[in-house]
Chain A
Amino acid sequence: MNDLVLAAEGASADHTALAPLIIALPLASAFFLMLFGKRIDRLAGVIASGAIGGAFLASIITFGSVVAAGHEAAESHRFFDWITVGDFSVGFDLLVDQLSAVMLLVVTGVGTLIHVYSIGYMHGDARYSRFFAYLNLFVAFMLILVLAENLLLLFVGWEGVGLCSYLLIGFWFEKPSAADAAKKAFIVNRVGDFSFLLGIFLLVATVGSLSMVAINAEAGAMSAGVATAIALLLFGGATGKSAQIPLYVWLPDAMAGPTPVSALIHAATMVTAGVYMVARLSPVFEASGEVALLVVGVVGAATALWAAVMASFEYDIKKVLAYSTISQLGYMFLAQGAHAYSAGIFHLVTHAFFKALMFLGAGAVMHALAGEVDMRKMGGLRKAMPITGTTFLMGCLAISGIIPFAGFFSKDALLAAAWADGRYVLWAVGVLTAFLTAFYMFRLYFRVFEGPLKVPEGVHVHDVPPTMAAALIPLGILSVVGGVINLPGVLTLEHFLEPVVGEAQVPEGAIAWVLGGLAFVAGALGIALARAVYLSRASSLRRRKAYSRAPGLVDAARDKFYIDRIYGYGIVAPGKALSSYLANVFDPRYVDGIVTGTGRLVARASENLRGIQTGYVRNYALVFLSGAVVILVIQLVRVGL
């Protein structure tokens, strides 16, 4: 299997050459800012953005050479040994192929825009340079994740982005809610990583290597049972990082972090790591027969619907977007469960555009309204903030799947793939979710941006400063036209990714048009409903009526269907009680009591019942000697016998 790597290496130009630089730029900048950030203060944002910008340029060049290399572009290189013991060996191995090249562009491209945006957004924060250091560090780990040629190096990036997520969610650690959310995010992700780690062990035992190329080459030879176990264990990790049922609970809380963090980490990049990982190891998921993929698809569809329902009842604009992100990630897994890995990646890319855009737009609103996040206190902002309002509308149209915005193409592609694979139930759930998505997104949009102007008291509304506009406008444009990257006959992302993830089944002819039309109609209906409930004159009456019909259900939804409480009472509380018992009763009383008691007895006996407090060391010498004598006597008796 090493031959494959070699063959790939020999095939084409050296496009791993820039890979270490792409990682090193943000990493070096992060260390520099960590050590000297305080002194350069305002320059920190510029340096950090420059580092990511440089990585973006290098990524473009790398992407270009991958495109030029054609089908056989995959190339990997070991830069140094990391852990080698016995037959097990992993190194700092980077892999550049079509999939990682696409991810490079998304991470560094969106990353650059969000860094620039943060210059304005974080202006005046007491830990300004620290923020950029963490943001740079995050990008460096994310790049390690997407460039890793072995699963353990991917795991370095995987946990590294988790660390940065922890640092940035808890960036304003003075707020208890932020500190809680940071800890929760890390620990919930650790639970997922525990599963991921078990998957890694099983892979080493099965394949003997963690090289992606080797794993994918060997996947076909695995028994379905082993492949299923590996796939599900790895997917367990993905449910943590990519916030799927049952481990999604950390992501809504993570909104306590600064908004650019939510845009970059908790929407565009980090949370997509699970989707990327599944695509990267698609042969393993394929080798499992249908079981693992069915789990992936069902979890994805269920999460998509579940989170969309939650989003429909949330009043915090950032949390609406957080649930929306969870829901959209569910879509990506739904596609992957139907063998449509490239459709999943396609949606990952367009989602990165429009969701980053909407988070940054929400940040602009908070910026203008002195940190307010409750949409009930907002209204009619589009007139006061035209750039923010207009770009936000682009994002809403894109996510709602309206032709010709970016989201239409990617959502259509993945729903069509589910249909083509015969997953009709999942397809139906997807269409229902599309309807809900448009509803909750426009519920937010109408409440915040349309209708009469409404702002918290004493706030003077202003639109975004230039650095923030510089991020909103390109992302707005991408949300409109981003679909072209997979437009038949123009550019085809799916075809481009084929060498890595294989070919997906797509419906042909009339059925394709019908499916696309249905997805569109679902979105349009959702918008119409939102308009009827939130923008028309009778809207508040209608809402009250709807509430009176099922108050319990609405209250339950607003309390997140009690999931956090169930986890609290079901897992956290018993765990604490057990720990408390062990720490305060069991260990001191029983374990220590018995062991010390036995020891004391021995000591008492050997010290001829003298108190142990006095002259202890002298006694010790005595015991030492008497012990030796006893042994000698025993020996002599033995020899004598």
Chain B
Amino acid sequence: MEDLPVLDLVIFAPLAGILLLAFIPKERLDALRYVTLGVTLVTFVISLGVLGQFDPSAQEQFQLGSSLQWIPEWGIGYITGIDGVSLWMVMLTTFLMPLGVLASWSVTKRAKPYFIFFLALETGLLGVFVALDMFLFYLFWEASLVPMYFLIGMWGYGRRIYAAMKFFLFTLVGSLLMLVAIVYLYFQAPGGPTFSYVELLDTPLTLDVQRLLFLGFFASFAVKVPLVPLHTWLPDAHTEAPTAGSVLLAGVLLKLGAYGLIRFAIPLFPDAARDLAPIIVGLSIVGIIYGALIATMQRDLKRLVAYSSVAHLGFVTLGIFVGSVQGMSGGILQMVSHGLSSGALFMLVGALYDRRHSRQIADFGGLAKTVPVFAGIFLLVALSSLGLPGLSGFVGEFLILLGTFFTYRWWVVPAAFGVVLAAIYLLWSYQRVFHGEVTNEANRSLPDLNPRELAMLAPIVALIVFIGVYPKPFLERIEPSAQRVVDTFNRSTVRPETASVQGGGK
């Protein structure tokens, strides 16, 4: 068991699943669903093996990986490995995938290609999180883009073509700039041209060059996060994507950007990152406030959740760039929390859409009476999203704000005010959908959650509570990796005020 390359198994298990699907006739809907569910579940179980073998106190930076020659003459290798950051991104992906399959029951048209794209997406996403070769990373990065494009464009709603195109366009422009930076970096490696991440870490670069390369990577990642003002593809993509598409988009795809910042943008170009950090911190805080204000006035529930993602991801990038271990750890945990809560919210909105073919807040009202279980779960998830202590959303946000206070002091004031705004847009929309009398006759006979829907929501709810009460298993794996990135970030400058604060003892 020890010698099994579990990590590589996790990445390619979904690909193997695609082979299985290829043999199933396209009209056998149930077979397609259950096989996909089975494949994603098996992938999740294997990933539990990864979690079990991961050693939180390991000395080396990356674990459980492989390193194979691929195209040696070009310095390209198949190099994988995980640390405490990518571990949780992998787990989040494998955890959400089976739930995403359960959320795809309403897909009946062209189900076979749908599920094939679905599994291809999983491999793409997992590959991004484990790749430690820049070429391999870029391959997976682009590979994850294509299935999502088709999922939105072919199985989406309304203006799906427009939304898919916009998603594609934004991401593409960002990716190209990153590609330029990667290729430039390739030639600068101290030991001759290579794509190996670990070797590239020590590339000596002047601050000006670092800045340009950083911005190249940043363009790609900031679009994905998304950081204001590059966020406008998100509400459209979310609104038109099929339910599972939204779940994965919010749950995992947005994390690709934040992950990229932590893994690549900061460690490869630490001086530039530090240099530009105040701008990014500022944009993050703008995102927190701006996303929340816009969410307040949305009439479509999906757009509301989409803008709330802008606000929440603002917290994530804030934590990443404030340069304290609390901020960084909180940002990483917040990525997991947001994946859970926004994933669940999209599932719930999707379940509502399946019943009423509407997502307009104005079409609802009084649902707490007709669908009490649905209402209860929605409230719990919303409370986690607005950062209620005892649920997962609080832990990340608190650490981010604390970390911000350590290094940026009073910048924390507008950021923390985002917590008030979150309560406003979530509780106001909750009131309009669930409270009051049932005014619309069509809502009177809505069925409550069915067993399949409970099965996809219960694990998320359980995890939201677990992380809220006992985040230790998560934080103790995140912290060493977060510390490493923060050390790189702070390497060449001394921040006396930080040092004195953090050295204050307890």
**A173 and B179 in contact, given A156-B390, A198-B413, A579-B296 (Cβ under 8 angstroms):** no
**A631 and B183 in contact, given A83-B399, A85-B325, A582-B294 (Cβ under 8 angstroms):** yes
User: Within 8 Å CB of A204, what residues of B?
Assistant: 402, 405
Give bound CA distance, A436 to B327, whole Å.
51
**A632 and B183 in contact, given A82-B471, A159-B389, A183-B431 (Cβ under 8 angstroms):** yes
**A628 and B183 in contact, given A187-B423, A592-B232 (Cβ under 8 angstroms):** yes
Is A595 a contact partner of B427 (Cβ separation < 8 A)? no
Interface on chain B toward A: helix, strand, loop, or mixed SS? Answer: helix
Name the residue of chain A whose CB is nearest to the CB of B297: A583
Is B383 a contact partner of A163 (Cβ separation < 8 A)? yes
Is B434 a contact partner of A173 (Cβ separation < 8 A)? yes
| Residue A612 is within 8 A (CB to CB) of chain B in the complex | yes
Is A194 a contact partner of B417 (Cβ separation < 8 A)? yes
**A85 and B406 in contact, given A194-B419, A583-B297 (Cβ under 8 angstroms):** no
Size of interface on B: residues with Cβ below 8 Å to A: 77
* Binary per-residue interface labels of chain A (555-584) against chain B in the complex, 1 for a CB within 8 Å, 0 otherwise: 000000000000000000001101110111
**A160 and B399 in contact, given A599-B173, A635-B183 (Cβ under 8 angstroms):** no
Say which one of A323-331, A370-378, A489-497, A616-624 lies at the interface with B. Answer: A616-624
**A578 and B326 in contact, given A186-B423, A187-B423, A205-B405 (Cβ under 8 angstroms):** no
User: Within 8 Å CB of B34, what residues of A?
Assistant: none
| Residue A536 is within 8 A (CB to CB) of chain B in the complex | no
Is A87 a contact partner of B502 (Cβ separation < 8 A)? yes
CB distance from B74 to the nearest CB of A (A): 12
| Residue A41 is within 8 A (CB to CB) of chain B in the complex | no
Q: Please count the residue pairs between chain A and chain B whose beta carbons lie under 8 angstroms apart in the complex.
A: 193
Give bound CA distance, A157 to B430, whole Å.
23
| Residue A84 is within 8 A (CB to CB) of chain B in the complex | yes
Is B470 a contact partner of A620 (Cβ separation < 8 A)? no
CB distance from B223 to the nearest CB of A (A): 9
Tell me the residues in window 7-63 of chain B with beta carbons closer than 8 Å to chain A beta carbons. Answer: none
User: Within 8 Å CB of A179, what residues of B?
Assistant: 431, 435-436
**A631 and B180 in contact, given A179-B435, A187-B424, A201-B405 (Cβ under 8 angstroms):** yes
* Binary per-residue interface labels of chain B (430-449) against chain A in the complex, 1 for a CB within 8 Å, 0 otherwise: 01001111000000000000
Is A85 a contact partner of B420 (Cβ separation < 8 A)? no
Tell me the residues in window 360-402 of chain B with beta carbons closer than 8 Å to chain A beta carbons. Answer: 366, 368-369, 383, 388-390, 395, 398-399, 401-402
Is B326 a contact partner of A85 (Cβ separation < 8 A)? yes
Of the candidates B368, B398, B434, B503, the one having the most CB atoms from chain A within 10 angstroms of its own CB is B398
Name the residue of chain B whose CB is nearest to the CB of A195: B416
| Residue B276 is within 8 A (CB to CB) of chain A in the complex | no
| Residue A608 is within 8 A (CB to CB) of chain B in the complex | no
**A209 and B420 in contact, given A86-B325, A201-B412, A631-B184 (Cβ under 8 angstroms):** no
Give bound CA distance, A170 to B187, whole Å.
64
Is B187 a contact partner of A635 (Cβ separation < 8 A)? yes
**A591 and B229 in contact, given A186-B423, A635-B187 (Cβ under 8 angstroms):** yes
- Choose from A580, A584, A620 the contact partner of B172 (Cβ within 8 Å): A620
Size of interface on A: residues with Cβ below 8 Å to B: 77
Say which one of B111-119, B163-171, B200-208, B239-247 lies at the interface with A. Answer: B163-171
Give bound CA distance, A455 to B414, whole Å.
53
Give bound CA distance, A95 to B158, whole Å.
57
CB distance from B189 to the nearest CB of A (A): 13
| Residue A155 is within 8 A (CB to CB) of chain B in the complex | yes
Give bound CA distance, A279 to B246, whole Å.
48
* Binary per-residue interface labels of chain A (587-624) against chain B in the complex, 1 for a CB within 8 Å, 0 otherwise: 11001101110011011000000001100110010011
Give bound CA distance, A452 to B378, whole Å.
51
Give bound CA distance, A83 to B395, whole Å.
7
Interface on chain A toward B: helix, strand, loop, or mixed SS? Answer: helix
Is A616 a contact partner of B165 (Cβ separation < 8 A)? yes
User: Within 8 Å CB of A594, what residues of B?
Assistant: 229
CB distance from B95 to the nearest CB of A (A): 22
CB distance from B431 to the nearest CB of A (A): 5
Is B325 a contact partner of A595 (Cβ separation < 8 A)? no
Tell me the residues in window 454-497 of chain B with beta carbons closer than 8 Å to chain A beta carbons. Answer: 469-472, 475-476, 479, 482-483
Is B412 a contact partner of A198 (Cβ separation < 8 A)? yes
CB distance from B427 to the nearest CB of A (A): 5
Tell me the residues in window 325-369 of chain B with beta carbons closer than 8 Å to chain A beta carbons. Answer: 325-326, 329-330, 366, 368-369
* Binary per-residue interface labels of chain A (178-191) against chain B in the complex, 1 for a CB within 8 Å, 0 otherwise: 11101100110011
Name the residue of chain A whose CB is nearest to the CB of B142: A624
Give bound CA distance, A82 to B333, whole Å.
14
**A85 and B293 in contact, given A194-B416, A631-B179, A635-B184 (Cβ under 8 angstroms):** no
Name the residue of chain B whose CB is nearest to the CB of A638: B187
Name the residue of chain B whose CB is nearest to the CB of A89: B506
- Choose from A87, A156, A211, A580 the contact partner of B389 (Cβ within 8 Å): A156
Name the residue of chain A whose CB is nearest to the CB of B296: A579
Name the residue of chain B whose CB is nearest to the CB of A2: B506
- Choose from B324, B427, B506 the contact partner of A208 (Cβ within 8 Å): B506
Of the candidates B479, B482, B505, the one having the most CB atoms from chain A within 10 angstroms of its own CB is B505
- Choose from B230, B399, B427, B470 the contact partner of A187 (Cβ within 8 Å): B427
| Residue A385 is within 8 A (CB to CB) of chain B in the complex | no
Is A596 a contact partner of B179 (Cβ separation < 8 A)? no
User: Within 8 Å CB of B482, what residues of A?
Assistant: 85
Is B166 a contact partner of A596 (Cβ separation < 8 A)? yes
| Residue B279 is within 8 A (CB to CB) of chain A in the complex | no
| Residue A67 is within 8 A (CB to CB) of chain B in the complex | no
CB distance from B62 to the nearest CB of A (A): 21
Is B475 a contact partner of A84 (Cβ separation < 8 A)? yes
CB distance from B104 to the nearest CB of A (A): 23
CB distance from B141 to the nearest CB of A (A): 12
CB distance from A249 to the nearest CB of B (A): 15
Is B330 a contact partner of A85 (Cβ separation < 8 A)? yes
User: Within 8 Å CB of A580, what residues of B?
Assistant: 297
- Choose from B232, B290, B389, B413 the contact partner of A596 (Cβ within 8 Å): B232
- Choose from B298, B437, B504 the contact partner of A583 (Cβ within 8 Å): B298
Is B172 a contact partner of A623 (Cβ separation < 8 A)? yes
User: Within 8 Å CB of A207, what residues of B?
Assistant: 504
8 nearest CB pairs, A to B? A208-B504, A179-B435, A592-B232, A583-B297, A201-B405, A209-B506, A173-B435, A156-B389
A-B contact pairs, 15 of them (CB 8 A): A84-B475, A86-B329, A174-B369, A174-B437, A178-B435, A180-B431, A201-B402, A202-B405, A208-B504, A583-B298, A600-B169, A616-B165, A616-B168, A627-B176, A627-B179
Interface residues of B (CB under 8 A from A): 142, 146, 149, 161, 165-166, 168-170, 172-173, 176, 179-180, 183-184, 187, 228-232, 290, 293-294, 296-298, 324-326, 329-330, 366, 368-369, 383, 388-390, 395, 398-399, 401-402, 405-406, 412-413, 416-417, 419-420, 423-424, 427-428, 431, 434-437, 469-472, 475-476, 479, 482-483, 501-506
Apart from A209-B505, A582-B290: 9 A-B pairs, beta carbons within 8 A: A82-B470, A83-B399, A84-B475, A85-B475, A86-B325, A174-B435, A182-B431, A579-B293, A617-B146
